[in-house]
Amino acid sequence: MSSLATSSLDSVTFQIVPDDLPEPFETPSTANPAQVVPVPDTSVLQVPDGFSINVFAENLNRPRWLALTPTGDVLVTETPDSQIRLLRDTNGDGTADDRSIFANADNGLDRPFGMAFSEDAFFLGNEGDVRRYAYQSGDAQLSGTGQVLATLPTGGHWTRNVALSPDGTQLYVSVGSASNVTPEAEPRASVQVMDVNGGSMQTFASGLRNPVGLDFHPVTGQLYTTVNERDGFGDDLVPDFFTGLSAGEFYGWPYAYFTPDRTDPRIGDVPADLVAQTQTPDVLFQAHSAPLGLQFYDGDRFPEDYQNGAFVAFRGSWNRSVPTGYKVVFVPFDEAGNAQGSYRDFVTGFLDVGAETTWGRPTGLLVNGDGSLLFTEESNGRIYRVGYDRPEDRSPIWGSEADETLTGTAEAEAIAGLDGIDRVLAGASNDAVFGNGGTDELYGEDGNDSLFGGRDNDVLSGGDLSDRLSGDEGNDWLYGGSRLDVLDGGSGNDSLFGGRDADTLIGGEGIDRLQGDLGDDLMWGGVGGDGFVVSLTGGFDRVFDFELGIDRLLLEAGLTFDRLQFSDDPGGAILSVNGTPLVQLLGIEASQLNAQSFD
């Protein structure tokens, strides 16, 4: 398993309440989907600290929905092919290395979506029907075309999710509308319920324009859904939402939204008695996010505050002037099993807002048998796996007082060199490496690693992916390597080299030398007279604490003072060559700089 490059996610909590919503048509309705692009060579995703991401499976044909078989295999729908693929991780390394066809059109599949298992049956939501198949634990392929439990309308919002009640007696089915705001007869725009053995289908909850995700809370047993609300009202109307459902509830569509007094002016005759029953959802999402996948976390790997909360996949907007969504978010719950009315980012980085491009549209979610979280990305045909590196699971490798070489494995681990002169090769995965005493050489190699030099003069090299390097005490040399690295020299006179991509360099105490190298880097010298390298071969760097008369700009690669052009920007002076900006000094004016500021 090879981890993707990640950087730390500074997660922001979002809370939207009906009273803060704008009026209809306050902004124009804009058709502006982000353009889907291939996965970049230097792709980086943001996740909270301690989490990592790897590709579980790829080269799939628009993977949408996920399910887990009773024996722990992963099922994924490939809608254009009308088939379900079975994926198996035979060696437990977090990557599917065996794949086969679980079911296809010969089994009656037609735009398959939702899947659920009971002890002796497999349930499937096709676009036009719900089917039950005989199934025994361990079956790797379906037989026959199954029993049609219900026939459903086709066209429009076509995703038909299914969820089996906790007691195994009832099956819930989501049925979206065929339109944006045209009144339609049920079962459109509702969640239906039926007996698992067949029989008539009844409306459980209605007024839900396009309910997609369905899952039961692990503690309370209440059914929750994610809903794609209406378009054409402007950038911030109408928010999509997440809510628990109870029998007989009405959620407003198409006549109203969130409260009875918020009616849609595009609808002529409004049934007053029905509109008066409009419910307020538990959590409102940014309008046009397109929440699809819903998965409560009941695994045993993630930190405590994720237990029994909900993950939601945002497929992304098409009807907003500034694209939004294209990420996975988390909805926290309290100990009593109540949603707290807010949500926060969990996986971001697919969307480039400035370029209005995206290389990922998250869709389906699943808690895998090992406690990791899987999510589908349909545009580039991948399934991603989000894992958590629990400190208690790291197998420590301890050195001794002698001089030695310590070598890590492919697993996440802690490696400590103690007081000898050590050389540490961390290996793959996300490792924590401690040099401690002695003049050490620490190499992160593959993975998102954390390296701590400890005492004395050390050499730290992050290697591939996004690493955190801390020189601690002594005069240290820090090399970031590839991707988005954070380098902190600590105390002593340190030399920091960012390497490729956009890095963060912090000198700390002492007389430090900071060189961003390639990429647009952020630099803080810290306490002491520091030198910041300016080069024609680097990116556009920013220095946040340049001190006149104390710090120096170090010109390299044939660059001389007389070639520089100086200009002022609201943030600070910019140094350029032939119109190409090289560095910005925050809080400094161009007129304050002269030849004495350079070496």
- C-alpha distances in Å from residue 568, one per residue of 104, 251, 547, 564, 589: 64, 54, 17, 13, 6
Domain 6-388, CATH homologous superfamily name and number:
TolB, C-terminal domain (2.120.10.30)
> Comparing C-alpha atoms, which of 543, 541, 517 is closest to residue 530?
543
Fold that domain 392-597 belongs to in CATH: Alkaline Protease, subunit P, domain 1 (2.150.10)
pLDDT reading at 392 higher than 80: no
Q: Are 160 and 126 in contact (CB under 8 A)?
A: yes
Q: What is the reported pLDDT for 447? A: 83
- Taking residue 432's Cβ as centre, other Cβ atoms within 10 Å add up to 20
Query: pTM here?
Result: 0.76
| 8-state DSSP, 322 | S
Residue pLDDT, tens place only, 183-241? 999 999 999 999 999 889 999 999 999 999 999 999 999 999 999 999 999 999 999 99
Q: How far apart are CA 542 and CA 553, in angstroms?
A: 12
- C-alpha distances in Å from residue 155, one per residue of 123, 126, 152, 177, 261: 21, 12, 10, 9, 31
Q: Are 274 and 250 in contact (CB under 8 A)?
A: yes
Residue pLDDT, tens place only, 50-108? 899 999 999 999 999 999 999 999 999 999 999 999 999 999 999 999 999 999 999 99
595 band by pLDDT with thresholds 50, 70 and 90: very high
Q: Give the 3-state secondary structure of residue 281.
A: coil
Q: What is the reported pLDDT for 465? A: 84
Q: Give the 3-state secondary structure of residue 566.
A: strand
Q: Is the dihedral of CA 124, 109, 154, 255 positive or negative?
A: positive
Domain ranges of the chain: 6-388, 392-597
Q: How crowded is the C-beta side of 241, counted as CA atoms within 13 Å?
A: 27
pLDDT reading at 422 higher than 80: yes
Q: What is the reported pLDDT for 394? A: 65
Beta-sheet strands, E only, within 280-425: 283-284, 291-296, 310-314, 327-331, 343-347, 351-352, 357-358, 362-367, 373-377, 382-388, 397-398, 404-407, 414-416, 422-425
pLDDT reading at 1 higher than 60: no
Q: How far apart are CA 481 and CA 458, in angstroms?
A: 16
Q: What is the CA radius of gyration of the chain?
A: 28
Phi and psi at residue 159, in whole multiples of 5°?
A: -70, 125
Residue 399: what residue type?
G
- Extract the tokens encoding 98: 């065996």
> Comparing C-alpha atoms, which of 317, 350, 312 is closest to residue 329?
312
